[in-house]
Each structure stands twice: as C-alpha cells, then as structure tokens.
C-alpha cells in the first residue's frame, strides 16, 4: 500500500515534508522508513503560568519536539516568538535531524519554543517564563536524551536559567543539558560565532569551486544578528566585499562596500542593538525586503524563514544564495531561482556550524576540559569544508541540485540507523 503523504497548512512544515518526500522517492526509500521518518518521535505541549510584574498571571504555550533520536540525543534550540506553534517546531526539528546527520555528529534532531512576544516582557518575566518552561520539559531533556540551545530571541542568559533550573531540580549540576552558555559558565570559546563562521566557510568554498575570486566578491547579508554579523566579519577577513546588510530597521546598501567592523561597533553601541542610524560612504537606506533584490554575487539570507518567496524570487539578482537562516527560500522560490540559474546552498548545510559548535561545547562539558578559540575553529572549519564538498561532489556526480543532494546524503544516514536499531520503542 503506497505511503499516504502528510500535508500541512504551515509553510515551514509543508516545505520540510515536500523536501523529505521528494528525496525519499528519488532514493527509493522503503515505505516503512518513509512512514517513520516523516513523523516526530515525541511532541510535548505545555502550558506555562507566569506571574507578571504587575502581579497578574498569564499563561503561555510552550512546545518541545524530539523529531529523531536514531543517531543520538535530540539537538535543537528553543525560540521565543509570537508565531511559535507545534507544527513549526516539528518542521524545524526535522531540519535539525538532517542537519546533524549531514554534519556527521552523534545527534538526532529536536526543536522547541514558546509563543510570546519577548519585547513585551521584562527581564524578571523572561526569567520566570524560562524557568517554568525548563521545569515543564524536564522529564524529556537531558545530556543523553535532548539538549536544547539558543534560537530566535533566546541566548546565553536563557540557557543559564534553563541549566540552573534543571540542575536544582535534579540536585546535581548538569552543564551539558544545554549549549550556547556564556564562556564564564561552562560555555565554549568560539561557540557564539560558529554559525556565522560556518556560513562564511560555505560561501568561500562555493566561490572557489565556481572559479570566483573571494577577494572583491560582492555579498549581501539579510539579517545582521549573531549569524549575519559573524558571517560578514569572517568573509571580509578573506577579502570579500559586503555590499548590503539589513535588520528590523531596514536595508543598508553600498555598491562600493560597507565597513563591517564599524557596522558591528554601531550595533554594539546602540541600546536597541540595531543598525538604526548607521551611516557610511555611499550607503543608501532602503526598505528591508528590498535588500534581497540588489545586485550581488552572493545573497546570504540570515533572518527568518520564507524571506525569498514566490513574490520576490524572480527579482533576485544574486548568482548564488547561501541560506544562513532556516528555510529562507520557499519551495516555489527555489524553483524560480533554479530556472534563473541561481545556485542555492541549503540551510542545513550552510548554517550547520552552530550545531557542530554546540557538539564541541557538549563534548567539553562532558569532559570538564575546555579548548581555546583557536582550537575550536581549527576543528570547526575543516568539518564545515568537508561537509560542503561531500554535498558538492554528490551533486556533481549525480546531477542533483545542492539541496536535494544534501537531503539524500543526510536521510540515508538516519535511515540506515533506524534500520539497524529497529522499531522497538
């Protein structure tokens, strides 16, 4: 009996399922494995009553999805955003599964989050919310079961609250239960920049394979948060020219190049941590979405999903797209840019530096032995480079687009593990 394909109205989950089913069909994956791998192993929904600063109680909705643990503990961040729901977490958990598999690290995939607007919460309210979430998901997380990490609107502080809550509940320190902690509290030097360094590594290796000189190559980065800024800093060190950046305040485009170090300094000095008010030679302030359609060699969308979609894909002028965010190019847009001859390096390859870096932090936590930042990057960059060429070579050998090649490589590793381990529990 043929597999009945799952569908969803959620764009991110629909995209994830479409990509999975397409790859599974092409590789001739057994129907039983298709059924197993198209569904998460466990999904937890929790209600989070929080005492607000005014004394009232507000109940938030939280989620944690363990999509697959075939290769190891579930790994994936938790985010704070108004659009967080169960299907989004499932989609991102599946993406983390393929990302960890492709990276060759001993992790499965998971994701979580809380439906909220963090900009409306005070610091004490965020702390109470985070600790309540940690307590609610405590039964299913652990150093060898599920290891959360920072994601959209969460960072080192939330990870410390999460770790501290679980540790106190269990009566023992468990630093390896989350990654993305500050260096001063069991964190890892190099982890903060890892995702951006990984994106930059993919950009530079792509240009080399295409015979494009990295020095002087034009790059636009949509999203100038942690990932985008570190990707930009890494690329300019190799001679690339960043001609456009953007954040919630708009787009900043300069055909002659932007002084990225000054842009980072501006953001760090700005109380709101944005580019608002940033100026430079030849710099034009434009609408944030318009940054995507400016002239460039490489476009690196490093913000939220769906940035490149059916409405703007035909206007993309980049030669290459390297996905720093999760799901920034929709399937419809993927088809359009493909017809235009634009090569896309998929998200779960390009932004896997973060989870590889998380793996490094976890290893250090389990051993209680820490590396220098140089040691960290000495291990990170070769892994990213090897992963890039594994997908690149497969795509060239079998005539596949990079995204499909990455899915085929990643799904096979998970499927092989499921077959070997069997279906008991």
Would you please indicate which residues are annotated as catalytic (active-site) residues? 111
Q: Reduced to 3 states, what is the DSSP secondary structure of residue 210?
A: coil
Give me the torsion for CA of 143, 148, 154, 157, rounded to 10°: -10
CB 241 within 8 A of CB 204: no
Summarize the chain as % helix, strand, coil (round to 5): 50, 15, 35
Six token digits for residue 86: 């169960």
Residue with tokens 């419809």: 332
Provide the edge-to-edge strand list for the sheet that holds 298-301: 284-286, 250-253, 241-247, 218-222, 298-301, 320-322, 343-345
Q: Return d(Cα 387, Cα 278) in angstroms, integer.
A: 36
Residue (of 380, 379, 360) closest to 188 by Cα position = 360
Helix or strand holding residue 244 (H, E): strand 241-247
Strand pairing category for 298-301 and 320-322: parallel
Q: Largest alpha-carbon pair distance within the chain?
A: 64
CB-based contacts of 268: which residues, under 8 Å, 6+ apart?
Answer: none
Backbone angles phi, psi at 74, to 5 degrees: -60, 140
CB atoms within 10 A of CB 251: 22
DSSP secondary structure of 322-337: E--SSS-B-HHHHHHH
Helix or strand holding residue 143 (H, E): none
CB 106 within 8 A of CB 147: no
Q: Return d(Cα 65, Cα 294) in angstroms, integer.
A: 37
CB 73 within 8 A of CB 51: no
């Amino acid at each position: 009996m043929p597999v009945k394909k799952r569908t969803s109205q959620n764009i991110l989950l629909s995209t994830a399922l479409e990509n999975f089913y397409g790859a599974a069909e092409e590789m001739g994956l057994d129907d039983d494995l298709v059924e197993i791998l198209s569904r998460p192993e466990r999904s937890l929904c929790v209600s989070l009553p929080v005492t607000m600063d005014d004394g009232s109680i507000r109940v938030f909705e939280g989620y944690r999805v363990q999509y697959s643990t075939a290769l190891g503990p579930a790994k994936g961040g938790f985010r704070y955003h108004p659009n967080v729901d169960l299907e989004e977490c499932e989609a991102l958990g599946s993406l983390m599964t393929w990302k960890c598999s492709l990276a060759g690290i001993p992790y499965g995939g998971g994701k979580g989050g809380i439906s909220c607007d963090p900009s409306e919460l005070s610091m004490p309210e965020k702390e109470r919310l985070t600790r309540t979430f940690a307590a609610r998901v405590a039964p299913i997380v652990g150093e060898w079961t599920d290891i959360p990490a920072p994601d959209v609107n969460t960072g080192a502080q939330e990870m410390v609250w999460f770790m501290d809550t679980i540790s106190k509940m269990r009566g023992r320190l468990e630093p390896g239960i989350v990654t993305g902690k500050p260096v001063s509290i069991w964190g890892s030097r190099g982890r903060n920049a890892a995702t951006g360094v990984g994106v930059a590594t993919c950009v530079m290796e792509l240009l080399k394979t295409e015979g494009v000189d990295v020095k002087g190559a034009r790059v636009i980065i949509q999203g100038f948060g942690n990932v985008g800024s570190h990707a930009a800093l890494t690329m300019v060190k190799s001679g690339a020219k960043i001609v456009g950046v953007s954040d919630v305040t708009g787009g900043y485009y300069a055909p002659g190049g932007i002084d990225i170090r000054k842009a980072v300094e501006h953001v760090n000095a700005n109380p709101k941590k944005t580019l608002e008010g940033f100026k430079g030679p030849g710099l034009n302030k434009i609408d944030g979405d318009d940054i995507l359609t400016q002239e460039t060699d490489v476009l690196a969308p490093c913000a939220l999903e769906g940035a490149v979609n059916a409405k703007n894909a035909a206007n993309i002028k980049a030669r290459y797209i390297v996905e720093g965010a999760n799901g920034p190019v929709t399937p419809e847009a993927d088809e359009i840019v493909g017809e235009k001859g634009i090569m896309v390096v998929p998200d779960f390859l390009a932004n896997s530096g973060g989870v590889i870096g998380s793996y490094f932090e976890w290893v250090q936590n389990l051993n209680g032995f820490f590396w220098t930042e140089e040691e960290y990057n000495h291990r990170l960059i070769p892994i990213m480079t090897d992963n890039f060429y594994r997908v690149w070579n497969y795509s060239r050998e079998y005539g596949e687009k990079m995204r499909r090649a990455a899915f085929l490589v990643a799904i096979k590793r998970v499927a092989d593990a499921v077959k070997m381990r069997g279906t008991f529990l």
